[in-house]
Structure 1
Amino acid sequence: MTGDLSIFGVFVPKLLVLALAAYVALVLLKKLLARLGVYRVVWHPALFDLSIFIFLVAAAANLAQWYST
């Protein structure tokens, strides 16, 4: 996954765009998980959030790679 996106003439790495999208998804998912009470059974919420973020970025990168071919 290489390349840049041109946003109004500014070249931005694709990974940065995917990470921002994953962060927005993480914020929404955190609100849902907090409402469901999942964080009461999680040992370390910060590590749990980090692992979810890494999973979301990897999933977004794989989807972007799949759609670009």
Structure 2
Amino acid sequence: MSFVEIDIFGVYVAPIVPMMLLALVATLCLRRVAVAVGLFRWIWHPALFEFSVYLILLTALVLAVGALKLPI
């Protein structure tokens, strides 16, 4: 795995930042689905559950980008 910085208008951004944003958007979408289905009624600690889902999505995204050798 080799990640390089992303140059955005002369500002170098760590490659994890776009992946974090993508994982956040995916987590928010999954949260809306979970609320609509009524999943949060069965979860003991919703904030901990959301954080765990975010970390799982971020980890999967980082591993997928690293395995695919995408230039991020």
Instruction: Report if TM-score (shorter chain) is over 0.5.
Output: yes
What is the TM-score of this pair, normalised by structure 1? 0.89
In the alignment, residue 57 of structure 1 is paired with which amino acid? Answer: L
- State the structure with bigger RCO (CA 8 A, min sep 6), 1 or 2: 2
Unaligned runs of 5+ in 1: none
More helix per residue? 1
TM-score scaled by structure 2? Answer: 0.86
Which structure 2 residue ranges, 5 or more long, are not aligned?
A: none
Secondary structure at the counterpart of residue 50 of structure 1: helix
Render the CA deviation track for 1:15-59: whole Å, top value 9, x for unaligned.
Answer: 111111100001101000111110000000000000000001100
Indicate the residue corresponding to 2:16 in structure 1.
15
Q: How many positions carry a matched residue from both structures? A: 69
Identity of aligned residues (%): 32
The alignment partner of 1:6 has SS state of: strand
C-alpha RMSD of matched pairs (Å): 1.4
